[in-house]
Structures are given as C-alpha cells and as structure tokens.
C-alpha cells in the first residue's frame, strides 16, 4: 500500500473532529514549508544584491554549471 493510500485509509477511520485536526496539521506543515522557501528566496535575492553592489561580476549559467560539475567531481579541465 502506498503512503497516500495508507494515509487515506487511516483518515477515513477518524472521527470528523480528528480529521479536522489532521487537516490543521497538514496546513501548518504546508505553510511552514512555503515560509521556508520564501525565506530562502529572500536571502538569495539579498546575497545577489550584495554581490552586485560589490562590483563582483555574476556567474553566467554555463559558469554555474561548470562550478557545480567541478565541485561534484564531474568536470575534468583539459588543456587545448
């Protein structure tokens, strides 16, 4: 049984009051997750503004991808 099916089976066995408690809890988790994402986005925008204000050039998409690959050990520099 999938977690979704298990949840639904257990949900149906609860009283209406308990179902409301579950909904409240799920709403809490959903809002907390949304707030965490919004907070991260705000912090990333703040960091970007600080970098721009410092005069440091921003990385291009290709440069970011190369940096990620390099840090993960997937990029091998070759001499041309």
Domain contains 26: yes
Structure token pair of residue 38 = 């919004």
Which H helix or E strand runs over 57?
none
Query: Is 67 or 76 the better-scoring residue by pLDDT?
Result: 67
Mean pLDDT of the chain: 87
Of all residues in the chain, what percent carry a pLDDT higher than 70? 92
Domain contains 7: no
How long a stretch of residues is the chain? 80
Q: Give the pLDDT confidence score for residue 30 in this predicted structure.
A: 87
Number of domains in the chain: 1
State the Cα–Cα distance between residues 41 and 30, nearest whole angstrom. 17
b/e burial code for range 29-39 (CB count within 10 A of at least 16 → b): eeeeeeeeeee
Cβ proximity of 75 and 69 under 8 Å: yes
Q: Residue 32: which domain range?
A: 14-71
pLDDT band at residue 13 using 50, 70 and 90 as cut-offs? very high
pTM of the model as a whole: 0.48
């Amino acid at each position: 049984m999938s977690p979704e099916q298990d949840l639904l089976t257990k949900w149906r066995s609860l009283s209406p009051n308990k179902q409301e408690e579950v909904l409240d809890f799920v709403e809490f988790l959903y809002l907390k997750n949304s707030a965490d994402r919004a907070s991260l986005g705000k912090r990333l925008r703040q960091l970007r503004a600080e970098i721009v204000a410092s005069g440091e050039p921003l990385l291009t998409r290709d440069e970011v991808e190369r940096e990620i690959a390099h840090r993960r050990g997937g990029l091998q520099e070759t001499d041309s």
